[in-house]
Amino acid sequence: MTTHSELRLLPWAGPEGKPCYLSTDDSDGHLSRLADHTEAVQLGMAAGLLEHASEALHDAEPEELRLLATMLTGALRATLRVATSRGHRLATRDLAARDGDDEGPRLPASAFG
């Protein structure tokens, strides 16, 4: 079985806002679990903020709207980072499956003509 070391985009930024990556084959390691937990918290906060925004838009003052827009921007940035990270990991798993890393049934090349 071939192993693919995947780079996981972490749900936090490094110095100067640059992306941080984790190189691991272990999805159950300490940093992987911390990243999973952080992603869950970020998504939960984004959902709560969205609900608050839906209610507040009707009668918010301009200063409140600016604060809300700032918070929504941060939540959207975090959500996009989570989506990008998860998309990359799905693509890596799909590539691994095509390369024969899955343990499902295999057909010989002659079966495809």
Return the pLDDT at 108: 54
Which tops the pLDDT comparison, 79 or 101? 79
Return the pLDDT at 110: 54
Q: Check: CB of residue 90 under 8 Å from CB of residue 20.
A: no
- pLDDT-based confidence at residue 23 (cuts at 50, 70, 90): confident
Structure tokens given for 91? 């693509």
- Residue 75 scores a pLDDT above 90: yes
Percent of the chain with pLDDT over 70: 75
pTM: 0.70
- Residue 111 scores a pLDDT above 80: no
Q: Check: CB of residue 42 under 8 Å from CB of residue 11.
A: yes
Structure tokens given for 86? 């998860």
Which tops the pLDDT comparison, 102 or 68? 68
